Amino acid sequence: MNQPISWTNLGFKYLDTGSYVSADFKNGRWSRPAVRHGDHLSIHIAATCIHYGQACFEGLKAFRTKDGRVVCFRPDAHAARLALSAARLCMAPPPRELFIDAIQALVEANAAYVPPYGPRASFYVRPLLLGTSPVIGVHESEEYVFVVLGMPVGPYYKSGLVPVSAWVQETYDRAAANGVGHIKAAGNYAAGMLGDKEMRRHGHEVSLYLDSATHTFIDEFGTSNFIGITADGRYVTPASKSILASVTNDSLQQIAADFGLIVERRPIRWDEIKHFTEVGACGTAAVITPISSITRGTDVVRFGDEAEAGPTLTRLFRAIQAIQYGEQEDRYGWVQTMLA
């Protein structure tokens, strides 16, 4: 580490740690993961990841726990989701064991960059799968590189668990029902950038997308799943072919059920939005981002206190963080020790 890091002032941005881990798929088999030094890859100019979008990734976190271990939150689930993305994009998925071994090697090589217990910072891990064969005709690559990089991060939103405003994006669609919205394809995020620029011009911080066919059902926020909490104790999240299966959302649903909430995963019509007392966006980066209001055209729907997260989302946020930081027993087997 070249200079001390202020763990309490970390943003959610790239920081070079000086090393990453990679493995190659060639001749039908994967190499073992190896620690590499530097921050650049050498990619053929005709690689399928550049020309035809054979690129997908994951995002998960490692935490320094109260007892000093470094643990990773639900790496198995992220390995499975990357395999799903790879299958949809005709790519060779890294096996689960390779996925886990690569993360462990990354954490060991970058132990000095894993934030200490206390400041509520974490070590963000980004597994990345790229097609690397030179191809001009449209077909899948024969060779792949699996890269895992990481860096210390703070909250995705600087304000932390403070509500933000959302804006319904109707000029552009996020994904089609039978497209690739349900996987973590790199191109999904490029496709949403223009809509997010429009959203920010309207003075908001997150986009909400409706279904592409009718714009009558809620799909998800630009980078996160949608959660709605009702006054009668229901945790409601959309069911849709174009929604990415969030590991965080899946975890929160289990915790919510254990709290006694009724969990409903179903289509949610836009006209139900006023029935929710709390709304949140959930995902690995931010965990839960409370939503203070959602604007659609001239219609503005507000949720609770604009300056403070609602009680149910706050309780869920604290519960999942307590598991991640080793402050509460992991009843679900979600955390895996990477460094004792």
DSSP letter string, 27-91 = TTEEPPPEEEESS-----TTBHHHHS--EEE--EEEEE-TTS-EEEE-HHHHHHHHHHHHHHTT-
- Do 202 and 276 share a domain, yes or no? yes
Round to whole Å and give the CA distance between 90 and 127: 18
- Do 61 and 128 share a domain, yes or no? yes
| Structural domain harbouring 312 | 164-324
Q: Which of 122, 153, 184 is the last residue of a domain?
A: 153
Domain of 281: which CATH number? Answer: 3.20.10.10
**DSSP type of residue 7:** G
Q: Which of 153, 184, 214 is the last residue of a domain?
A: 153
275 domain-assigned: yes
Domain of 40: which CATH number? Answer: 3.30.470.10
Distances (CA, A) of 10 to 107, 108, 114, 121, 290: 18, 21, 12, 7, 21
Strand partners, 331: none
From first to last of its 340 residues, the chain has per-residue pLDDT tens of: 767 899 999 999 999 999 999 999 999 999 999 999 999 999 999 999 999 999 999 999 999 999 999 999 999 999 999 999 999 999 999 999 999 999 999 999 999 999 999 999 999 999 999 999 999 999 999 999 999 999 999 987 766 789 999 999 999 999 998 999 999 999 999 999 999 999 999 999 999 999 999 999 999 999 899 999 999 999 999 999 999 999 999 999 999 999 999 999 999 999 999 999 999 999 999 899 999 999 999 999 999 888 899 999 999 999 999 999 999 999 999 999 999 9
Helices (H) and strands (E) in the chain, counts: 6, 18
User: Please, are residues 50 and 190 in contact by the beta-carbon 8 Å criterion?
Assistant: no
* Phi, psi for 6 (deg, rounded to 5): -85, 95
Size (the chain), residues: 340
Q: Is 241 helix (H, G, I), strand (E, B) or coil?
A: coil
- Do 20 and 122 share a domain, yes or no? yes
Residue 227, token pair as written in the block: 């959660």
Round to whole Å and give the CA distance between 247 and 262: 19
Round to whole Å and give the CA distance between 226 and 215: 15
Residue 308, token pair as written in the block: 């403070």
338 domain-assigned: no
Sign of CA dihedral 77, 82, 87, 92: negative
158 domain-assigned: no
Domain count within the chain: 2
Record the pTM.
Answer: 0.96
Q: Is 274 helix (H, G, I), strand (E, B) or coil?
A: helix
* Phi, psi for 167 (deg, rounded to 5): -135, 130
- Do 147 and 200 share a domain, yes or no? no
Round to whole Å and give the CA distance between 287 and 225: 10
Round to whole Å and give the CA distance between 309 and 324: 20
- Do 149 and 172 share a domain, yes or no? no
- Do 104 and 172 share a domain, yes or no? no
- Do 179 and 300 share a domain, yes or no? yes
- Do 230 and 303 share a domain, yes or no? yes
- Do 24 and 149 share a domain, yes or no? yes
The pLDDT value recorded for residue 158 is: 67
| Phi-psi category of residue 339: left, alpha or beta, with phi > 0 → left and psi -120 to 50 → alpha | beta
User: Pairing relation of β-strands 29-30 and 276-283?
Assistant: unpaired
340 domain-assigned: no
133 domain-assigned: yes
- Do 292 and 315 share a domain, yes or no? yes
* Phi, psi for 78 (deg, rounded to 5): -70, -35
Closest by Cα among 209, 199, 228 to 291: 228
- Do 182 and 131 share a domain, yes or no? no
261 domain-assigned: yes
246 domain-assigned: yes
Question: Within the chain, where are the H helices?
Answer: 48-51, 75-88, 96-109, 186-201, 247-258, 311-324
Round to whole Å and give the CA distance between 241 and 245: 10
219 domain-assigned: yes
- Do 74 and 170 share a domain, yes or no? no
